[in-house]
Amino acid sequence: MVKKIMVVDDDPGVIFTVKHGLENLDKDYKITTVNSGRKCLELLESGEKPDLILLDIMMPDMSGWETYEKIREKISNKKLPIVFLTARTDRIAKNAGGFLAEDYIEKPFKVPELKERLDKILKK
Amino acid sequence: MRLKINFSISLKITFMVIIVSFISICSIAIINLPSIEQDEYILEAQYDKAAALIHDINVSVGSYDQIKNFSRLTQIIYDFNSWNENILKTTINLVNDDDKLTVFASSDKNLTNKSSQQYTRNGVEYNTICYMGNHTYYIPYIEEKPPILVILSPINRSGTTIGTYEITISLEKAQQYLTKTSDEKVKNIVLLSTIILFVLIFSFLFLLRKVIVKPITTFRDTAKIIGKGKLDTKVDISSRDELGELADAFNQMAKDLKESRDKIQDYTQILENLLDRKDEFIGQLGHDLKNPLQPLIGLLPVLIEKEKDPETKEALQIMNKNAEYMRDLIFETLQLAKLRSADVKFDFEDVKLREEAEGCVDSQKLLLKEHKITVDNKIADNITVYADKLRLVEVFKNLISNAVKYMQEGGGKITLDAKQEVDIVTVSIQDTGIGMTQEQLKKMFDEFYKADRFSSEYQSTGLGLAICKRIIEKHDGKIWVDSPGLGKGTTFYFTLKNKTKNN
């Protein structure tokens, strides 16, 4: 079963880590990467249908929060899981994980741990 | 307990004036009280009176022939006696044929025709005709009780002494009168002094109020206004005395204070701006430091798993360990910085202590097993503390992993316990590890301090305990460490508040 993941992050290091790491660990993972919220929305509007979105919070131009709101507004699939990536350890980020999005993952993360988390969410 | 009463200056000075005046009045009264010289004084008065009386009676008695008329003389003596109430007895002694003095006429009839009484003073006998001469003799205090004065005076007719007048005067009334007068005198003095005292006190208080109390009140009110921050307020006292100088100094002080405060306010403003920027900076720094680490932290475990060549695998493992250490260092430094900032928020709630401690132990099960360490959780089930749950867990984790770090090879035991007092709970975490010297104990909570700097280079950041300290301090608690010495284990203690309803 193919697992299509879309990664939204302005940091090429993060994008590379997720794409390279996940595809290496599990051949079923198909990773699409974009480097801004705007591009993410464009891609979704053009018909792209990921199984899960990994969304960075701190991005220039359009933040992760904003992108999240717009995805929820525009995309018909209300059940599409969105997982935040955050470098912030404070409570705001943790609360965000609890209330707004399906989950959050703190940077820097280990790819095997990331895979474990994603597998769990995708199973539901 | 010491009772503290505040007296105003006027009250204190009034007390002082009253005490001083009271002492003065007492002294004046004592000086004026009837003294030992009183007796002499009475006598002096009575001598003068007696001289006048004797003159009167001598005139009444008349010539030598008239003296011989007994009934007439007796009448004179009676009249004389009854007119002068102080005279107890009046007697006329005459020289008889045998040249002896006998009582011729007396207010005391029993004495008539008896020989006259002899009086002795200072060893000299009086009332013997040959000694009388022309003088009047006063013989005071023949008897003590009642006090009397006897006066003898010769009766001279045609150049010869034919007898004596003997008048016994009671001193009792005179003495009473004198005592009464002196009592009244004292009373008057006291009354007068009291009136003067009150006049003095009131005028003194009036002056005191005008000269000292009022300026002081002005100082007090101004100081209060200045205390509220209005530093440009001035004391308006222009008198050219010490108070005026004080006012000048006071105003100068307020001026200096204002300048200092303005400077401090400027600096505070700068600091506040810096602090605001610092928080922003820390957040940004976290982001900027963590992102570059992402490929290392993220991919090294994947590479290690896939790597077949043992040498490359070891190199990758070392790289991974260092990357993880760097990540821990960043996390903990950021956490410490965050805890240090004033606006860090804590979510306090009632937390079951044993449950949280148990959870921490569970989460570190693998690590404990690896080091062959057993944990004995003696914390009682019913202890609830008022704390930030997530941060309390952090404290437990740090202290347990710290205990693990300093455990001796071959394993050991960690004992968790808590003692509940009225409103605080003291938690203890005791290990059977390498223990610590006094020197090490002192530095334990310093940032970046490592008890064993070389061997644990990449195992701990040295920030864990500093973080614990900040967390506990934000709980209004205390954290401290104790060790009986090297090789004898270490015990960490910290205090938390009891659950809310007890606070």
| Cβ A38 vs Cβ A69: under 8 Å | no
End-to-end CA distance of chain A: 14
- Compute the distance between CA of residue A30 and CA of residue A5 in angstroms, rounded to an integer: 6
Does B283 lie at the interface with A, CB-CB under 8 angstroms? yes
Instruction: Specify the pLDDT at position B415.
Output: 94
Does B239 lie at the interface with A, CB-CB under 8 angstroms? no
Q: Do B283 and A109 touch (CB under 8 A)?
A: no
Residue ranges with strand state E in A1-124: 3-8, 29-34, 52-56, 82-86, 103-106
Is residue A116's pLDDT more than 80?
yes
Instruction: Specify the pLDDT at position B231.
Output: 84
Is residue A15's pLDDT more than 90?
yes
Instruction: Specify the pLDDT at position B417.
Output: 94
- Compute the distance between CA of residue B144 and CA of residue B174 in angstroms, rounded to an integer: 15
Close Cβ partners of A97 (under 8 Å, ≥ 6 residues apart): A84, A103, A104
pLDDT tens profile B5-25: 556 666 777 788 778 877 877
The DSSP string of B370-392 is HTTEEEEE---TT-EEEEEHHHH
Does B142 lie at the interface with A, CB-CB under 8 angstroms? no
B-chain residues near A108 (CB < 8 A): 290-291, 293-294, 296-298, 327
Does B13 lie at the interface with A, CB-CB under 8 angstroms? no
Does B338 lie at the interface with A, CB-CB under 8 angstroms? yes
Angle between helices B389-405 and B464-474 (to 10 degrees): 150
- Compute the distance between CA of residue B253 and CA of residue B89 in angstroms, rounded to an integer: 90
Does B320 lie at the interface with A, CB-CB under 8 angstroms? no
Q: Find which of B299, B335, B336 to mutate to test the A interface (most A CBs within 10 Å of its CB).
A: B299
- Closest-CA distance, A113 to chain B, in angstroms, reads 9
- Compute the distance between CA of residue B340 and CA of residue B471 in angstroms, rounded to an integer: 10
The more confident residue out of B503 and A38 is A38
* Residue A101 identity (one-letter amino acid): A
Q: Do B294 and A110 touch (CB under 8 A)?
A: no
| CB-closest option in B293, B302, B345 to A108 | B293
Instruction: Specify the pLDDT at position A4.
Output: 94
* Residue B156 identity (one-letter amino acid): N
Does B147 lie at the interface with A, CB-CB under 8 angstroms? no
- Compute the distance between CA of residue B165 and CA of residue B92 in angstroms, rounded to an integer: 5
Instruction: Specify the pLDDT at position B36.
Output: 46
Q: Find, in chain A, the residue whose alpha carbon is nearest to that of B303.
A: A21
* Residue A124 identity (one-letter amino acid): K
Instruction: Specify the pLDDT at position A78.
Output: 72
How many residues are listed for chain A in this entry?
124
Scanning A55-114 for CB atoms below 8 A from B yields 58, 87-91, 107-112, 114
| Cβ A57 vs Cβ A86: under 8 Å | yes
B-chain residues near A58 (CB < 8 A): 287
- Which among B162, B166, B169 has a CA at the least distance from the CA of B153? B166
The DSSP string of B175-203 is HHHHHHHHHHHHHHHHHHHHHHHHHHHHH
Instruction: Please give the DSSP secondary-structure letter assigned to residue B115.
Output: B
Tokens for B56, please give them.
Answer: 């009167």
B-chain residues near A112 (CB < 8 A): 301-302, 305
- Closest-CA distance, B287 to chain A, in angstroms, reads 5
User: How many other β-carbons are positioned within 10 Å of the β-carbon of residue B199?
Assistant: 10
Number of domains in chain A: 1
Instruction: Specify the pLDDT at position B178.
Output: 67
- Which among B402, B391, B397, B378 has a CA at the least distance from the CA of B351? B391
Q: Which domain holds residue A106?
A: 3-123
Q: What is residue B223's three-state secondary structure?
A: helix
pTM for the whole structure:
0.52
Question: Which run of H or of E encompasses B126?
Answer: strand B124-126
Q: Find which of B279, B290, B345 to mutate to test the A interface (most A CBs within 10 Å of its CB).
A: B290
- Compute the distance between CA of residue A61 and CA of residue A39 in angstroms, rounded to an integer: 11
The CATH number of the domain holding residue A26 is 3.40.50.2300
| Cβ A36 vs Cβ A64: under 8 Å | no
Q: Do A88 and B292 touch (CB under 8 A)?
A: no
- Closest-CA distance, A17 to chain B, in angstroms, reads 5
Backbone φ and ψ of B433, nearest 5°: -80, -160
The more confident residue out of A121 and B459 is A121
Q: Do B291 and A107 touch (CB under 8 A)?
A: yes
pLDDT tens profile A74-98: 876 777 888 888 876 555 555 554 4
Sign of the torsion angle spanned by Cα atoms A17, A23, A26, A29? positive
Question: Which run of H or of E encompasses B417?
Answer: strand B412-420
Q: CA-based angle A59:A65:A71, to the nearest 5?
A: 105
| CB-closest option in B290, B301, B347 to A110 | B301
- Low-confidence residues of chain B: pLDDT under 70: 1-10, 29, 31-43, 120-145, 174-175, 177-179, 182, 279, 283, 342-343, 448, 450-460, 500-503
- Compute the distance between CA of residue B198 and CA of residue A26 in angstroms, rounded to an integer: 108
Q: Alpha helix locations (H) across B209-348? A: 214-227, 242-306, 310-340
Q: Do B306 and A24 touch (CB under 8 A)?
A: yes
- Which among B226, B196, B204 has a CA at the least distance from the CA of B9? B204
Instruction: Specify the pLDDT at position B430.
Output: 93
A-chain residues near B337 (CB < 8 A): none
